Chain A
């Protein structure tokens, strides 16, 4: 059959004469899964421009079961101009491997629309056809030269330059060659730097650069992110930039070794029997010589020792090479002593137990190396326990031992003869320095994360470990012949005084953080405690006890643990102070960012605005309080430890240091993992960097599956899944490494790892994306677990995956991804349920006209939402994107304002305050639903040039009073003032409501029917001052307006009952000097009356009981979630104290409805 097809093709004369594109055609293997014939014509994107230079189209076929072999089918491809209908390319080809890739240059195309057609043919018959249309446009290139300031997030006092690795984005078409980039200091002196292209704007090496990684060694490290006027370093780029060449690291490779010369030190790294570092010389003197059995090792619960150096098949290679920094990647297994290393089992006995991937970073001019060591667990939690996970370096002739202690001088002690001395950080707030005979030498709170051995010849070896007490337990040990970092301590402590299943402790997973052995099997008592706490032994996936039971059924197999280590070597007489300085630097791990405005303008991170606290204070304050408040709550509740440090939670904080256990260990169910990186990149705030780094490490290590063992029959409790590499855990196991998982679905957030890689150059994160996740979805589709992990049901699962795939494609440009993108896009366009970044990515990167049209149509008529555009937690994202794309000025303003108000900013501000105060807090997953899109809302407001809609005051629901709402404003000086109608008019039906404005003489000066939201009425200067009464006949359930209503300083609302659309916080005070009694009753909801003087709670109700208080003269705040509020007496409310006044006009006002108390 194959011969027939080829023969037909050979004689068909299929290449069109006069073709004006000449694509490079190549084939990609596409595993055949579909039962039916499936065919995709997939575009890289819908709109190309001259800045793209090249384009790609993919034709993909799955033959289905009816056709025996791909050899039997051919694919006819045709590309034609829509303007002239003439073909610019036509060819028929055998399907071969399943995917045919067309890569072609765009320069010969005329701007216009082009149709791409594909036909699948079998035995001469056309079985399937598909068409796509793409546009080619000309656009002006961005500036191809520039000078971008760099800002450091955190500062460190430096005596010597410290290596910094960062990423800088460039707009499409701005930078084509990384050679045309350099770093200069503020005097214009060039600073040596090393550049690595991390992503381009297209698949080709001719495409312009999207993310450039830069390594350099700044001399000054001042935290200048807040004060952006005085920066020390700049990135310069442009065709005229020709950086000077410089020499740096020299590497000599032999069959046995890598000999590395940094200029300051010579390191020898073995290629076989890898023992981490074999030797180190400083100034020609060997200061360290390792023994062959050293390096990383672990000990199982039966005492078996497994060493990295035993692996005969270890791979040691250079992963990234440059003059300033070179990265060695080492991959292998821990192999048991005295075995052949042939067997791998998830239980004992086994020759190999756990994989490792270790990166050794060496730096020009530096006598230290950074080690990023990842251990991948290959055993089942119930089959193997570990007594020790350690890094050991040989060291004899030790003299003094130094342990770094936070906020103190290093603690110096002697080496014990034939014994050891160790510091064990056994609790997050407790360490102990002990000798091997059990004697406690010293106790304290926080290790500084380093220790050092001074030898008889006065040279020093130091080992630094980042975030040591935060990732307890850890141990630093010095023996007579070695210096060891125990990633799991050898001398662990039990702490029986801690009741691990108390509600205040159960979520800290003490079973994995204490004891002599690392035992990752969750005890059964956790389930029974959860059943007790939740009053029932539910086992379902939507119950807290059920998820705890899933934790018991979880396994560490496939999870990983990465340690960030720096090993330093000091020459004679350099002293321990230098080690301390180095450790300070390493703990901070300095990082810098380009000017956030540059980053945002580049669009590499999408449509976002820089941190703008001056212009959008309320939004920025709210974001900060929420994200920082969350972290402070974690600190407050003591959520530390090597298995839980900086995870995200899904559900609520219940107060008193207790949490809802349901979905407690959320990986990134609502795209949370991306959030701190997004906030960091637009601000430079070191808080977000620290949060992002720690969360990403936990996420990438524990929430993503790195290994599978087909012989292990274990399956997750819910959904019955087995491991598949690259898949992300959901929320459904009461530990970070448990629960169901997906490769594609609503619960993934690989984009966080991608952005983290672009910004920091972390190669482990890239490896997870490309060698684990992408590899599985592209070439392990026949894995029995694949279908269960690919959740591409229409709606949030499909749509989040679409956003992720578009980001992945821009990182790897793997053509097979376009097939997924095409399938997902088709579903997305018929069901736009928002989750993650799909709409944004489809608009900005894929440039779908249909998606844009559907968005804009959705703006015009949100009520007839046939496409689920408004079925979202984040309607502000829709409005913000519409405002960004809208060209009509008035509509742009309307959408930007709606983006602001639909975000529910007031309610979030109030919640943020509660979180900061450690009060109970609702679902944490909703935080990211709000926060993720606020930088886009700010961008929309900025683009629309909308004044801050809050006008410096909290904006909140205007209290609506049945019959008529009286808003009384006071004009101190004669002036124009504006009435802003913001919110929704006629929520459920069309039509408006009457509004009447009376001047200080009680003369009606405006009488209108308000039927348009986001409209403005100007009351002109009229020679009068005093009170104006605005009467609004708002309809309950139909009209939701926001206060303040005007731009006058004094504005109050006179009500005898009120309805509202969001949670509010109004100020009121007595109308007499002596105070007065007031009574309120929220309708079946909570309300709080808070003193204006002390900010203390005066009275409250949770379920809507009546509250009566004697109102103090200084006034009170009434906070209420209630939809309706009954009042004992009329109240004069205002947004805050400054707006409040006692209006005289109320004497003449009557309420249309009288209420009984």
Chain B
């Protein structure tokens, strides 16, 4: 046992060091501020694009809290931080990253220091092999497609409730499967594909940490964020 102890410790250390980092590209990053606090968004990672990326943060009323280009750089050691001051407002915020998919691959998640943070939409790119958790906004049949790969959905008991390998249904390059989604349930998602999507524009909201899950206000998804006036400080 004396000999095994250090080995176990070594294994744990190694597995911790090589634990897979969670990155995902989604249509929106949703934050929930329970109490009015100063909170932060930290972009942590090496941005691979020379143009950087554009970040827009807005609330459910369409008010922009941040709207500017994040320049290219290596923020692995010192994150690029956005501070959102206390403002007597709480609730849901949505952030959108405009840029190359590789930016999302580079950014460490979660971005914020808030308790709740999910990545939502009907189209995702991820190379993550670990478990992801998600919730659905409304009760419906959810058809998931794995692009040139496979995925499966498990319920809270860990039972597989949808599996593209079992369903064996295809739509162009997507392997499809479906399940009946219900609010309030933390579903588990395991993917073996780079891209996956939810058909019929039904969004799901996911995270690799179940405790971070929440369902964002539906109103926030109706905001046409690309029409929010830009505050880019491009000095030309």
A residues in contact (CB < 8 Å) with B: 380-383, 494, 511, 515, 517, 519, 521, 523-525, 527-528, 531-532, 536-537, 539, 549, 552-553, 555, 712-715, 717, 720
- How far, in angstroms, from A537 to B56 measured CA to CA in the complex? 13
- How far, in angstroms, from A727 to B205 measured CA to CA in the complex? 42
Contact present for B232 and A536 (CB under 8 Å): no
Contact present for B236 and A511 (CB under 8 Å): yes
B48 at the interface (CB under 8 A from A): yes
Given the interface contacts A523-B232, A524-B234, does A382 sit within 8 Å of B72 by beta carbon?
yes
- How far, in angstroms, from A494 to B226 measured CA to CA in the complex? 26
- Selected from B98, B102, B227, the residue in CB contact (under 8 A) with A532 is B227
- Selected from B50, B225, B232, the residue in CB contact (under 8 A) with A382 is B50
- How far, in angstroms, from A483 to B206 measured CA to CA in the complex? 65
Contact present for A549 and B236 (CB under 8 Å): no
B54 at the interface (CB under 8 A from A): yes
Contact present for B54 and A524 (CB under 8 Å): yes
6 pairs of A and B residues whose beta carbons are closest in the complex: A531-B226, A382-B50, A537-B226, A714-B50, A380-B50, A524-B54
Query: What chain B residues lie within 8 Å of A517 (beta carbons)?
Result: 236
B51 at the interface (CB under 8 A from A): yes
- How far, in angstroms, from A553 to B227 measured CA to CA in the complex? 21
Contact present for B100 and A528 (CB under 8 Å): no
- Given A531-B226, A720-B102; 19 other pairs, CB 8 A cutoff: A382-B52, A494-B236, A515-B236, A517-B236, A519-B236, A523-B236, A524-B54, A524-B230, A525-B230, A525-B232, A527-B98, A528-B230, A532-B226, A536-B226, A552-B51, A553-B51, A553-B99, A712-B50, A714-B50
- Beta-carbon nearest neighbor of A550 in chain B: B100
Contact present for B50 and A549 (CB under 8 Å): no
Query: What chain A residues lie within 8 Å of B52 (beta carbons)?
Result: 382
B188 at the interface (CB under 8 A from A): no
Contact present for A549 and B72 (CB under 8 Å): no
- How far, in angstroms, from A521 to B234 measured CA to CA in the complex? 10
Query: What chain B residues lie within 8 Å of A527 (beta carbons)?
Result: 54, 98
17 contacts between A and B (CB under 8 A): A381-B50, A494-B236, A521-B51, A524-B98, A524-B232, A527-B54, A528-B226, A532-B227, A549-B98, A553-B51, A553-B99, A553-B100, A713-B48, A714-B48, A714-B49, A715-B102, A720-B102
Return A510 CB to nearest CB of chain B, in Å.
10
Query: What chain B residues lie within 8 Å of A382 (beta carbons)?
Result: 50-52, 71-72
Contact present for B98 and A537 (CB under 8 Å): yes
The winner among B50, B52, B72 for most chain A CB atoms within 10 A is B50
- Selected from A494, A537, A717, the residue in CB contact (under 8 A) with B100 is A717
- How far, in angstroms, from A584 to B167 measured CA to CA in the complex? 75
The winner among B51, B227, B236 for most chain A CB atoms within 10 A is B51
Given the interface contacts A528-B226, A717-B100, does A555 sit within 8 Å of B50 by beta carbon?
yes
Contact present for B50 and A537 (CB under 8 Å): no
B109 at the interface (CB under 8 A from A): no
B residues in contact (CB < 8 Å) with A: 48-52, 54, 69, 71-72, 96, 98-100, 102, 225-227, 230, 232, 234, 236
Query: What total of A-B pairs shows CB separation below 8 Å?
Result: 61
- Selected from A494, A528, A553, the residue in CB contact (under 8 A) with B49 is A553
- Beta-carbon nearest neighbor of A537 in chain B: B226
Query: What chain B residues lie within 8 Å of A552 (beta carbons)?
Result: 51
The winner among A494, A537, A712 for most chain B CB atoms within 10 A is A537
Query: What chain A residues lie within 8 Å of B100 (beta carbons)?
Result: 553, 715, 717
- How far, in angstroms, from A998 to B226 measured CA to CA in the complex? 68
Query: What chain B residues lie within 8 Å of A715 (beta carbons)?
Result: 48, 100, 102
Query: What chain A residues lie within 8 Å of B50 (beta carbons)?
Result: 380-383, 555, 712, 714
Query: What chain A residues lie within 8 Å of B72 (beta carbons)?
Result: 382
Contact present for B48 and A524 (CB under 8 Å): no
Return A495 CB to nearest CB of chain B, in Å.
11
- Beta-carbon nearest neighbor of A523 in chain B: B234
- How far, in angstroms, from A515 to B234 measured CA to CA in the complex? 13
Contact present for B236 and A524 (CB under 8 Å): no
Return A528 CB to nearest CB of chain B, in Å.
5
- How far, in angstroms, from A519 to B235 measured CA to CA in the complex? 10
Return A88 CB to nearest CB of chain B, in Å.
52
- How far, in angstroms, from A769 to B71 measured CA to CA in the complex? 37
Query: What chain A residues lie within 8 Å of B102 (beta carbons)?
Result: 715, 720
- How far, in angstroms, from A523 to B98 measured CA to CA in the complex? 13
Query: What chain B residues lie within 8 Å of A720 (beta carbons)?
Result: 102
Query: What chain B residues lie within 8 Å of A523 (beta carbons)?
Result: 232, 234, 236
Return A714 CB to nearest CB of chain B, in Å.
5
- Beta-carbon nearest neighbor of A515 in chain B: B236
- Beta-carbon nearest neighbor of B232 in chain A: A524
- Beta-carbon nearest neighbor of A514 in chain B: B236
Contact present for A537 and B232 (CB under 8 Å): no
Return B7 CB to nearest CB of chain A, in Å.
39
- How far, in angstroms, from A967 to B104 measured CA to CA in the complex? 68
Query: What chain A residues lie within 8 Å of B49 (beta carbons)?
Result: 553, 714
Return A76 CB to nearest CB of chain B, in Å.
43
Query: What chain B residues lie within 8 Å of A531 (beta carbons)?
Result: 226-227
- Beta-carbon nearest neighbor of A382 in chain B: B50
- How far, in angstroms, from A846 to B102 measured CA to CA in the complex? 45
- How far, in angstroms, from A524 to B69 measured CA to CA in the complex? 8
- How far, in angstroms, from A714 to B99 measured CA to CA in the complex? 13
Return B17 CB to nearest CB of chain A, in Å.
25
Query: What chain A residues lie within 8 Å of B230 (beta carbons)?
Result: 524-525, 528
Return B204 CB to nearest CB of chain A, in Å.
20
- Beta-carbon nearest neighbor of A549 in chain B: B98
Return B101 CB to nearest CB of chain A, in Å.
9
Query: What chain A residues lie within 8 Å of B48 (beta carbons)?
Result: 713-715
Query: What chain B residues lie within 8 Å of A549 (beta carbons)?
Result: 98-99
Return B28 CB to nearest CB of chain A, in Å.
11
Return A348 CB to nearest CB of chain B, in Å.
13
Query: What chain B residues lie within 8 Å of A714 (beta carbons)?
Result: 48-50
- How far, in angstroms, from A539 to B234 measured CA to CA in the complex? 22
Return B57 CB to nearest CB of chain A, in Å.
15
- Beta-carbon nearest neighbor of A530 in chain B: B226
- How far, in angstroms, from A536 to B225 measured CA to CA in the complex? 9
Query: What chain A residues lie within 8 Å of B226 (beta carbons)?
Result: 528, 531-532, 536-537
Query: What chain B residues lie within 8 Å of A536 (beta carbons)?
Result: 226
- Beta-carbon nearest neighbor of B49 in chain A: A553
Return B13 CB to nearest CB of chain A, in Å.
31
Query: What chain B residues lie within 8 Å of A555 (beta carbons)?
Result: 50
- Beta-carbon nearest neighbor of A712 in chain B: B50
Query: What chain B residues lie within 8 Å of A383 (beta carbons)?
Result: 50
- How far, in angstroms, from A381 to B96 measured CA to CA in the complex? 24
- Beta-carbon nearest neighbor of A494 in chain B: B236
- Beta-carbon nearest neighbor of A714 in chain B: B50
Query: What chain A residues lie within 8 Å of B96 (beta carbons)?
Result: 537
Return B102 CB to nearest CB of chain A, in Å.
8
Contact present for A537 and B51 (CB under 8 Å): no
Query: What chain B residues lie within 8 Å of A380 (beta carbons)?
Result: 50
Query: What chain B residues lie within 8 Å of A712 (beta carbons)?
Result: 50
- How far, in angstroms, from A532 to B50 measured CA to CA in the complex? 24
Given the interface contacts A382-B50, A382-B72, does A537 sit within 8 Å of B234 by beta carbon?
no
Return B145 CB to nearest CB of chain A, in Å.
16
Return A548 CB to nearest CB of chain B, in Å.
11
Query: What chain B residues lie within 8 Å of A717 (beta carbons)?
Result: 100
Return B48 CB to nearest CB of chain A, in Å.
6
- How far, in angstroms, from A552 to B69 measured CA to CA in the complex? 12
The winner among B49, B69, B71, B226 for most chain A CB atoms within 10 A is B226
- Beta-carbon nearest neighbor of A525 in chain B: B230
- How far, in angstroms, from A536 to B234 measured CA to CA in the complex? 23
- How far, in angstroms, from A537 to B98 measured CA to CA in the complex? 9
- How far, in angstroms, from A521 to B49 measured CA to CA in the complex? 12
- How far, in angstroms, from A101 to B93 measured CA to CA in the complex? 68
Return A795 CB to nearest CB of chain B, in Å.
18
Return A1077 CB to nearest CB of chain B, in Å.
47
- Beta-carbon nearest neighbor of B225 in chain A: A537
- How far, in angstroms, from A532 to B72 measured CA to CA in the complex? 25
Return A726 CB to nearest CB of chain B, in Å.
22
- How far, in angstroms, from A1114 to B226 measured CA to CA in the complex? 53
Query: What chain B residues lie within 8 Å of A521 (beta carbons)?
Result: 51
